Amino acid sequence: MDPDELRRLAECAKEPIRTPGVIQSHGTLLGVDAATQVVVVASENARSWLGRPFAEIGNPELQGAVRSGSAIDPVRVVWEGSPTDAIVHRVDDLTIVELEALPHDEYARTAVVTAINRLTAVASVAELRQQAAAEIRRVTGFDRVMIYHFHEDGHGEVVADDSVPELESLLGHHFPSSDIPPQARDLYVTKVGRAIASTSSPTIPLLAISDELRTVDLSNAELRGVSPYHLQYMRNMGQASTFSLSLVEDGRLVGMITCAHRTERRLPVLLRRALEVLAAQITMQFASMREIARLRHLVEVRERRTELLAPLYASDDIPSALLRGPRTVLDLVPADGVLVHIGGTSRVAGDVPPLDDMTRVLELLSGEAFVSEGLEADRPDISALLPSTAGLLVVPLAGPDDTLVFFRGEVAREIFWLGDQSAGNRPSQLSPRTSFSTWKSTVRGRSLPWGTVIQDALELGHELETVLHRRAQAQLAELAMRDALTGLHNRRYLAERLAAGSPVDLDGRALLFVDLDDFKSVNDVHGHDVGDVVILEVARRLIAHSRERDVVVRLGGDEFVVLLDVVGGEDVHAIADRMVAAIAAPIETKVATLIVTASCGIVVAEPGASRVGLLEEADAAMYRAKRAGRNRVSS
């Protein structure tokens, strides 16, 4: 935001817009002490009432409203010989009574009901905005009805415009935040509807029986006087009167509806109240549409995220899996390029800077998350390293240096403004613009806004961390079931397989218990390194002579088990004989050619038999083979 705009915002903040001490010229204001029912504040055009009991007004219905401090609807009274609407509300210990002269034109509130019924059938935000502007102009008869949307940085945009044919459309035009400064927006949250009957009529000051009452809070008053700055702004826009409605969502001003007329035009209080209801209806529809769109987006993103992450459990190269599959990380986080760094491996896709420059940027960020749509303005030091990058989104992961980095290039945009924003279009730095003719500026050095993509990227990072954690746990669990030397399944794995509560399946099961004969002598004569070579070779031969569906297990030392889950009539003895013969073949080592034999015990479990005790039976059979002379099979 430029310095002049900041100064304008600071100056606006000084204006006492809630306590202006004046009201608009088309009405009268009385402040009644709630305890004494005496008029203690009065507009100058009712100075004769100051200090008098309010009961002297002679209207029982209005007196009742004043005593209660509120009125559901305006109370119709005759004031100074004319029919007048009296509006009542309470401010601290004062009851404020506003007497507002009726406008010359009559309006039917039923037209608002018709408008609400029509708008409830609209299905899109853009269509709702434009149709709402048209409906409100039809009801009010104003020359122009605009709907504003406020962006995150505070500036506004005209997102709907319905006007008489001779007025140029302002749809799509932007205006700075100082046009509706923060303290005005706070006030507009307090009071939804605001009418400015005339931009040229002089205001009427308030009188009071004490100085502190002269600055009574008029935040909720219909007749509240308006900032001279804003009145000049309206005159410069060619507006003689306006009526505005706040679009308030969760206590926050998200937009406004402004009705403007080139001549003075007023709406009666009851119609303004009905239009406030319409504004609330429009706000709820906007919120519902955005929520529906958000939920749809959430479902779509979750589906895409599941497709992306599911294959990672079986991948040995996580970065490549995120970038090379049918669904990639760029499908979830749209960007021009991406760097994925996980487990010390980096992979890139799309248009990315050199890896050395990206590494330096990550060092500057020190593992912190980062997002920018205008890198040159936000972080010149990083921009110098990434000159072709305007938008940067960095999502750190749990692992050391594990990171997702998304890059977006510059997207130059033309912005149309309500009037030249430069100093030449203002008599002074703090004055409103003198001309509101369309002024165009080109925004450079910025990428497309990240918007909801930021949250999508953070959720992707979180779920990716979960996948990596579970994958690491699964790998650790798998390692716990493996023998460190041979990589075969170990005793723990076999115990869990045999401890299953279900009986042997219909195809039967067999166990081969293989024990090397006199293996201790190999270690004693040639050392444990040669012994490890022999164990590895025996493991390789057992795998080579087993079937694809069989499992070879190293129990420990020189003991092995081959688990045949499916027997299916095959000759288990023949399989065992092949293995024993294969082990007996000479084994070449660096120190000698060795011949090692093995004894094998067999147990075959019939379908439906218990799994418990099979290992012990096979072990007993193996010892029978040893006692029978070794290098043989026994059952």
Let me know: does 229 contact 12? Beta carbons within 8 Å: yes
Locate 195 and state its tokens.
């009418």
- Average model confidence (pLDDT) across the chain: 88
Query: Residue 547 pLDDT more than 90?
Result: no
Window from 29-43, 63-77, 131-145, 355-369 with minimum mean pLDDT: 63-77
- Provide the greatest CA pair distance for the chain: 132
- Best mean pLDDT range from 233-247, 423-437, 457-471: 233-247
Locate 343 and state its tokens.
């487990």
pLDDT value for 95: 95
pLDDT value for 239: 94
Query: Residue 291 pLDDT more than 80?
Result: yes
pLDDT value for 101: 87
Region 190-204: what's the mean pLDDT? 94
Q: Which domains does the chain have, with CATH numbers?
A: 3-18+103-292 (3.30.450.40), 22-101 (3.30.450.20), 311-407+447-473 (3.30.450.270), 481-633 (3.30.70.270)
Let me know: does 600 contact 512? Beta carbons within 8 Å: yes
Q: How far apart, in Å, are the Cα atoms of 582 and each of 455, 518, 543?
A: 60, 17, 11
Angle between the N-to-C axes of helices 110-119 and 269-309, in degrees from 0 to 180, rounded to the nearest 10: 10
Fill in the DSSP letter of residue 554.
Answer: E
d(CA 580, CA 43): 114
- Work out the percent of the chain whose per-residue pLDDT is above 70: 93
Let me know: does 441 contact 415? Beta carbons within 8 Å: yes
Let me know: does 260 contact 197? Beta carbons within 8 Å: no
d(CA 66, CA 43): 17
pLDDT value for 1: 56
Quick: pLDDT tens for 80-105. Answer: 888 899 999 999 999 999 999 888 77
Quick: pLDDT tens for 358-394. Answer: 999 999 999 899 999 999 999 999 999 999 999 999 9
Helical segments of 174-242, H only: 182-190, 228-236
Give the number of other CB atoms < 10 A from CB of residue 606.
10
Query: Residue 506 pLDDT more than 60?
Result: no
Quick: pLDDT tens for 615-635. Answer: 899 999 999 999 999 999 998
Region 61-72: what's the mean pLDDT? 87
pLDDT value for 614: 84
Quick: pLDDT tens for 379-388. Answer: 999 999 999 9
- Work out the percent of the chain whose per-residue pLDDT is above 90: 57
More confidently predicted of 413 and 1: 413
Buried/exposed code over 520-537 (b: 16+ C-beta within 10 A; e: otherwise): eebbeebeeebbebbbeb
Locate 352 and state its tokens.
């990315």
Query: Residue 596 pLDDT more than 90?
Result: yes
Among 18, 207, 260, 222, residue whose Cα is nearest residue 100: 222
pLDDT value for 46: 94
Residue 566 φ then ψ, to 5°: -120, 115
Tokens 């990434």 belong to 386
Give the number of other CB atoms < 10 A from CB of residue 247.
23
Residue 79 φ then ψ, to 5°: -125, 120
Full-model pTM? 0.72
Region 569-583: what's the mean pLDDT? 86
Region 310-322: what's the mean pLDDT? 82
pLDDT value for 502: 54
Window from 34-48, 185-199, 464-478, 481-495 with minimum mean pLDDT: 464-478
